[in-house]
Structures are given as C-alpha cells and as structure tokens.
Amino acid sequence: MKISSHAPSFLPWAGYWNKVASADLFLLTGEGYYNGQAYQNRVTFDGALAIIPLDKATKHGPLRKVKIAAELAVPTLAQRIHHTYRGPRFPYARRLEPLIETMHMMGVQHNLMRVNIQLHHVVAGMLNIRTETRVDTAPTQAKTPTEHLAALIVRYDEDPVYYAGPGAMTYLSLQPPSFPVQVQKFREPICRDSIVQVIAQEPDPEDYVRTCATWGPLES
C-alpha cells in the first residue's frame, strides 16, 4: 500500500495535495506538537500571509489540543478569500464558493486541528481526490523520527511504500526505515500559495496538483 502522512495544515499548498493524490492512504497525524514554523495555522493568499490566532496557553502542547484564540477566525478568513480571489487574474474564482460557504457556516471554532481536518475534506472533494484519509492521534514509543514514522505506518500495512515530502530527507536518509520510501521532487515553477489560488487560477486544478511533482526512491 502507498501511504503518506502530514500534520493537518490550514488550506495548504499544491505540494501537500500532490502527496495526498499520490497515496492509497493518507494519514492526518495529530500526536505531534504544534510547530510554529509550519503551516498549521498560517497560509499565504496571493503572496500575503494569513494567520489563525492561537491561544498561547495551548501552543506548547500536542497539535490536537491547540485552541483558536479568535472565535470567528474561520469566517473572517473566508471573507478574505472572497475579496482576494476576484478579478481577471482569477478566472475560476467561482469554484471557491463551496469552500467559502463552508467556512462561513463553521462559525465559532475553537480547535485548530478540527478546522484543518474539516477543510482538508472539503478541498479534497473540490480536487476530486478520492484517497482514503484517516486521522491518527495515537502516540508511539519511538525515540527517533524514523522509528516514529515506522511505528505509525506499520499500524496500517505491514508491507507499505511510504511517500515522503523532501523534508523527510533530513532524517530518513540518515536512518532509512525497513520499507521502501519514495521522495517527492517538485516541478518548477509551482504555486507556493494556498491551494485556493490554484483552484481559482488554473484551468484544471486537479491535473495541476497531480503533475506538480515526481517521485523517486530514497537515496541514503
């Protein structure tokens, strides 16, 4: 089975969705700690940074427990999407209406991970990506990143092929797991903004996502 994984992120970019589309099973992992340098509560809309404000008391714990500080942060960002993606540069902006409507209907939200997971499913439907997706928040007893990854993946398949983003090279190349690993390599240029920009701007966003990267074996 082809398996990939990622912490739930807020409306992430095309590279994330290429991982989802390339796998048979995609794991949304919430057992790790919040990473302020990642895109779990921030994203760029047409080059401008958008941030979901967080409760500072929860930012140093597991991602699944991180709380949103501003109750109407999600509807507010829906309005920002609506105002950002319009005009001749974004000829397919009307495609975003289901997403914007969903974000408005979400109303008051407190849990960051729950928001990201719900929006993950909405965008997957918009991109026609049918990959099975599961949420995994169970901890492991692993001592290294590779051991943690291996313990996570073999929960779902004893003979997997893991599809990893380029960042995994920093640890997987030093301590490869026992199962095969395919590493993502992006084509250039690729939109680094939120996937909402691809949906609003590209004639075929599904094809864009599926072809924006290639895969090759991990080299140790």
For 128-165, the pLDDT digits (tens) are 999 999 999 998 988 898 999 999 999 999 999 999 99
pLDDT band at 5 (very low <50, low <70, confident <90, very high): very high
Enumerate residues 6+ apart whose C-beta is below 8 A from 79.
none
Its domain, for residue 30, covers 2-217
Q: What is the pLDDT of residues 70-86, one digit of tens each?
A: 989 999 999 999 999 99
pLDDT band at 189 (very low <50, low <70, confident <90, very high): very high
Amino acid at 12: P
Enumerate residues 6+ apart whose C-beta is below 8 A from 153.
3, 5, 27, 160, 162, 177, 179
Counting the structural domains of the chain, the total is: 1
